[in-house]
């Protein structure tokens, strides 16, 4: 498979070796390295090597490989850092907090009381509205 690359993309530069990283894993499709602005010790990023801005645009095989790498890497990072759990986070679009426009999965090690986390202001579902919305979404999903 040929890799897409954007010369202005910082993660493509890391993939190409033009910018150094603390590498954790590499194969033909995927690279994993430590985040330079860690939310906690061991905070890591798993990326497809081929450039795509958002998850929906990324190569399917590379996304599946990213998931497999994250599945294996998360527990290893927890083990090596003495963390107690981990979050897998993937931001799409600036409204969702995406700052680097190259698909990436955050592995964020967690410890009790670490103060990290989303404001999880849960609402109450309206079942009539939800039923209509679910029908619309379900009829448009085409994996
Ligand atoms: P996001 O807000 O989801 O786009 O997250 C981008 C992440 O990339 C942030 O956590 C940054 O700290 C991280 N980051 C940016 N540049 C680098 C770099 N050169 N090496 C490692 N991590 C980086
Ligand atoms: Zn890129």
Q: Mean of the per-residue pLDDT values for the chain?
A: 97
Helix H or strand E encompassing 47: strand 44-48
Q: Is the CB of 10 under 6 A from ligand 1?
A: yes
Closest CA to 108 of 100, 118, 99: 118
Is it the case that residue 71 has pLDDT exceeding 70? Answer: yes
- pLDDT value of position 142: 85
- Residue 98, SS3 per DSSP: coil
Closest ligand to residue 91's CA? 1
Nearest CA to ligand 1 atom 9: 37
Q: Which atom of ligand 1 is nearest to the CA of 97?
A: 2
């Amino acid at each position: 498979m040929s890799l897409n690359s954007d010369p202005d993309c910082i993660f493509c530069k890391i993939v190409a070796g033009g910018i150094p990283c603390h590498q954790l894993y590499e194969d033909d499709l995927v690279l994993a390295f430590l985040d330079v602005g860690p939310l906690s010790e061991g905070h890591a990023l798993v990326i497809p090597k081929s450039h795509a801005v958002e998850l929906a645009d990324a190569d399917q095989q590379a996304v599946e490989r990213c998931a497999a790498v994250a599945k294996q890497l998360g527990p290893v990072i927890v083990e090596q850092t003495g963390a107690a759990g981990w979050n897998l986070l993937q931001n799409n679009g600036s409204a969702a907090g995406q700052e680097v426009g190259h698909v990436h999965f955050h592995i964020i090690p967690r410890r009790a009381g670490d103060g990290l986390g989303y404001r999880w202001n849960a609402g109450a579902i309206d079942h009539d509205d939800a039923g209509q919305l679910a029908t619309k979404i379900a009829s448009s999903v085409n994996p």
